[in-house]
Structure 1
């Protein structure tokens, strides 16, 4: 609750003192910033080409009621990150349990077969707190605002942490996991306030949103001290690195594009949207980034091209009530999911967001809202088709199955194996893949190896080791499993993982 209360207090204080005035959406938890982005800085869209293409939307939908909530004693529920992980919808969000020491914000976890819930803890239990304050560290009292992605077999949790309620005390931490439930923290914060400009809003840095694209980890976040933030600290900044901990090779988005910087504390000179508590995803079908943020009528989705130099499409609105920032429903890598009914012609946008103020006068009542963008050519090129159709299986031209995995096409002899590995199975082949040559062939009886702590993989005809989940696929494929050492496993060049 620290993030919500401190931002609200700072914004109201600025208004009371007469330092600035801004339109406040009726009932909003946070005043939205106005103007050109802030003192001495430049918004990333200062030189951006204006959006020319209007997207057609249809299929507005919303849940019948609240889809997720903490157990007894949880006074608020907000800031969700939502992942479609195989056949399960997984969600982490910010709350507080009196029974989870120390006192302060906790990150809860729940799952459901449907976006409309109900979300429960594993096995139908009360949603557990999976990350709480770590006394004596930068996140000693509060952990909040989670953003979770999975790359290969590792889950990465970026979150806001704070040791207490001192000014500018928020920073962004990182924890990793193999199951999304048990987390190992990386020592210290990965991003802190830049201290470019000190404003009345003393929040600091937090509210991260992570995406994995083309080998880069992208991290969008709030920094109320950023040079290009608004008068009240609103603004979203972007860093990227191939190191998930952002300890080396960091690039920052500037008003001239991405540029190498010494570290994550470099000046924040470009903001991509004038908002707090926003969420980011990559939309393969539109070849664009999408940022979900709250505006007067609901959740607006703002689009940027790959380099953040132009708006390829006009904003889309998911209408309805809100009280805190939205969580986009995303694939494990932070990409937009494809439509299961029309993957090449339709792009779904769904969010979960807090919709009311609860007993603690803090955001709660998480509900689902969504719509579809239609009439798009999402599979316009083979490269885009491979991104959109990740996880899809369909008949091949030679009476086998084709599986799209990690941007590659893998030919699979047995349909039963393809069904086990795929997230969606189509009965008819999509012409978009006719020009794509298979990168590898999973033949019946292909060699399978396993190593302690490293899992199971197939050695395919492209010379690569393809890690695979679930492990039962080897038996289904008629492949005897050979146990090897970790050194032998690592000696094989690895391709992207197969399976959900």
Structure 2
């Protein structure tokens, strides 16, 4: 629905409506609201006075002048993107509407590119391929919009806003899964996983939607809008957070309240908003040990940082400048994390995003922007270095290579193997890693086993079986693979997987 059942600021009045710029909404940077304050949002716990947030710098600001993606055909709007860097390519899903996709209403489109700044094209050769549309029945009968896509354990998860028609606080958040990011199956029996709380009925009758998901240490985090939440502002602005081990948020759900996360029997408590914004995105930044929320303010996209428990803001906010008309989509890893800097992972974090920049009756003209965060000092101690250097390799004191995998230091004898297991081998060793014990060693020609045509693993010196994402790694390591039965394979104590990163 071009009015953006998406657009939380107005109810649908026609097929296409004029959108009020989100910059008029209050945010964490203090942009002034239009009009008086009508309701009082629940207070966010203040940061401890003795802990001052670290001031980050920015440099290498960048922007692409061209539109990077569009729906093509009769699509009049394109907005609310979610982006994933995967396998050397960039994949983007966003909200549009194609007349060729049934039923009439908002659709989720997919396009891909070899470069983050595009141009993007659909996997079928079109400008954008419609991969998820309304169900014709149920809560999302007409509209599917505001996608947020992550990939965990080989499964893609699509969190989206669904609507059967007009607003009337009826928007809700649904979930679909896919083996490839293109063919989707509705989860939870086609029912929504989060609905409006109906705490406060405001003039803004959008309801619940605009989800942003990430996965950190086994937890699924879901941030979203609920214009009926008691912790939202007078105009419905606000972002609420849930987390659970269950991607459908049906069991063991923890809700972020005024005193942190707490176990809840449902998902309806909306006492605390983490940022005063609409249409925001979320990612985990390993180098900072913090979440970053991307939301629009007067000068561009602001990044507001929260620690893991959302108790304090460990870093000052920064802005990626430039024009905008609708919320940003951050370029993230499959699990929804920030991408590392390949040239200086210890002191900078690249932040790249796509956002709608033109309002031609509805938001469109998706363009690319970015900047690097500087002064992160991410390798100041061993614990932080292990987070920041995940997937990197460094020279070891023994003329071998140390690879940081799963928060551990793995010593690899053969450099060519270390190169395949890492995103990059750094030229110099990071001093903070000298305090980290070696968890396991991978020697040249280490013994290996195989069951079936594709399931193989190597036995490291810790006597555990480390499965290989690519059996060719065994050949690269000069390891012979002994054939075993599935039962013999399962009898081995397992180490983390050895994943080929390039």
TM-score by length of 1: 0.88
Q: How big is the shift at 1:284?
A: 2.1
Residue aligning to 2:16: none
Match of 2:225 among 214, 222, 225: 222
Residue aligning to 1:82: 83
Match of 1:298 among 279, 297, 300: 300
Residue aligning to 1:211: 214
Which sits farther off after the overlay, 232-241 or 297-306? 297-306
Match of 2:251 among 227, 248, 270: 248
Quick one: distance in 1 between partners of 2:205 and 2:53? 37
CA deviations 1:348-368 (Å, max 9, x no partner) are 22221111123xx11111111
Quick one: distance in 1 between partners of 2:94 and 2:487? 39
Quick one: distance in 1 between partners of 2:135 and 2:212? 22
Q: CA RMSD in A?
A: 2.9
Quick one: distance in 2 between partners of 1:37 and 1:485? 68
The answer to whether the aligner puts 1:237 opposite 2:240 as a matched pair is: yes
Change (3 A) 1:474 1:139: farther
Q: How big is the shift at 1:10?
A: 4.4
CA deviations 1:371-425 (Å, max 9, x no partner) are 1222231112222212212222333332333222232223333322232232233
CA deviations 1:319-352 (Å, max 9, x no partner) are 1100110111222222222211111011222221
Change (3 A) 1:347 1:216: same
Quick one: distance in 1 between partners of 2:435 and 2:486? 37
Change (3 A) 1:434 1:326: same
Q: How big is the shift at 1:44?
A: 2.5
Residue aligning to 1:18: none
Unpaired runs of 5+ residues, structure 2, are: 14-18, 27-32
Residue aligning to 2:475: 475
SS of the aligned residue for 1:44 comes to coil
Residue aligning to 1:383: 383
Residue aligning to 1:16: none
Change (3 A) 1:116 1:165: same
SS of the aligned residue for 1:285 comes to coil
**Alpha-carbon contact 1:68-1:117 (below 8 Å) kept:** yes
Quick one: distance in 2 between partners of 1:499 and 1:329? 21
**Alpha-carbon contact 1:355-1:367 (below 8 Å) kept:** yes
Residue aligning to 1:106: 107
Change (3 A) 1:431 1:48: closer
Change (3 A) 1:363 1:309: same
Unpaired runs of 5+ residues, structure 1, are: 13-25
Quick one: distance in 1 between partners of 2:138 and 2:484? 40
Q: How big is the shift at 1:168?
A: 1.8
Change (3 A) 1:6 1:281: closer
Change (3 A) 1:163 1:425: farther
The answer to whether the aligner puts 1:121 opposite 2:122 as a matched pair is: yes
Change (3 A) 1:486 1:251: farther
**Alpha-carbon contact 1:36-1:42 (below 8 Å) kept:** no
SS of the aligned residue for 1:270 comes to coil
SS of the aligned residue for 1:294 comes to strand
Q: How big is the shift at 1:31?
A: 4.2
SS of the aligned residue for 2:478 comes to coil
**Alpha-carbon contact 2:159-2:176 (below 8 Å) kept:** yes
SS of the aligned residue for 1:7 comes to coil
Which sits farther off after the overlay, 336-345 or 432-441? 432-441
Residue aligning to 1:22: none
Change (3 A) 1:341 1:199: same
Q: How big is the shift at 1:264?
A: 1.6
Change (3 A) 1:183 1:427: farther
CA deviations 1:444-492 (Å, max 9, x no partner) are 444143558x955445444544443344333333345567676665555
Quick one: distance in 2 between partners of 1:72 and 1:487? 54
Match of 2:319 among 317, 320, 343: 317
Quick one: distance in 2 between partners of 1:41 and 1:492? 54
Residue aligning to 2:402: 402
Quick one: distance in 1 between partners of 2:158 and 2:490? 26
Match of 2:204 among 201, 204, 218: 201
SS of the aligned residue for 1:76 comes to coil
**Alpha-carbon contact 2:5-2:167 (below 8 Å) kept:** no
Quick one: distance in 2 between partners of 1:129 and 1:490? 41
SS of the aligned residue for 2:384 comes to helix
The answer to whether the aligner puts 1:28 opposite 2:45 as a matched pair is: no
Change (3 A) 1:414 1:321: same
CA deviations 1:196-222 (Å, max 9, x no partner) are 112111111111111222222111111
Q: How big is the shift at 1:46?
A: 5.4
Quick one: distance in 2 between partners of 1:183 and 1:459? 37
SS of the aligned residue for 1:434 comes to helix
Change (3 A) 1:425 1:121: farther
Change (3 A) 1:256 1:165: same
Quick one: distance in 1 between partners of 2:484 and 2:128? 38
SS of the aligned residue for 1:427 comes to coil
Alignment of 1:20-419 (within 5 A): 28-29=21-22, 31-33=24-26, 34=33, 39=39, 41-45=41-45, 52-122=53-123, 126-186=127-187, 187=189, 188-265=191-268, 267-358=269-360, 361-419=361-419
CA deviations 1:122-179 (Å, max 9, x no partner) are 4865432222222323222222111122223222221112222252221112222333
Q: How big is the shift at 1:316?
A: 0.5
**Alpha-carbon contact 1:11-1:232 (below 8 Å) kept:** no
Change (3 A) 1:145 1:310: same
**Alpha-carbon contact 2:8-2:278 (below 8 Å) kept:** no
